[in-house]
Amino acid sequence: MKTFSAKANEVPRKWWIIDAKDQILGRVAVKAANLLRGKEKVIYTPHVDTGDFVVVINAEKVRLTGKKEEQKTYMSFSGFVGGHKSETARARRARHPELLVERAVRGMIPHNKLGRSVYRKLKVYKGGLHPHTSQQPATVSLP
């Protein structure tokens, strides 16, 4: 019996929608990352992009547990002198709430060429509306 290896151009792609309203950030990110990678499919192959498209709506209403809203910080460094910036989760939610979900999902996929192609299939929106209704995304229920 030969080992099956999926081919990226033969993988059927589906569209999924995750409503992040009142859901814990980590659980939303895990579900999105698994769907993006294709880990819930029978044809999953680690070195091939076998995943689906994921749309996350209501990103500004995602929940952080404990004191993470005030204590969790996001840092960036431009490479220049004095180019270190940091902000709390509360400040990031006020400025650009989609980044909370995007950064959490990005940390859960591979940090290489495959991960970059997988990450492009993630679409995150602040409110409840999205422009992907013509793709007829199926709803994903979180526990």
Three-state DSSP string of the chain: CCCCCCCHHHCCCCEEEEECCCCEHHHHHHHHHHHHHCCCCCCCCCCCCCCCEEEEECHHHCECCCCHHHHCEEEEECCCCCCEEEEEHHHHHHHCCHHHHHHHHHCCCCCCHHHHHHHCCEEECCCCCCCCHHHCCEEECCC
Q: What is the pTM of this model?
A: 0.93
User: According to the model, what pLDDT value does residue 53 have?
Assistant: 98
Query: Tens digit of pLDDT for each residue in 46-104?
Result: 999 999 999 999 999 999 999 999 999 999 999 999 999 999 999 999 999 999 999 99
User: According to the model, what pLDDT value does residue 1 have?
Assistant: 83
Query: Domains in the chain, ordered, with CATH?
Result: 14-63+96-140 (3.90.1180.10)
User: According to the model, what pLDDT value does residue 143 have?
Assistant: 77
User: According to the model, what pLDDT value does residue 116 have?
Assistant: 97
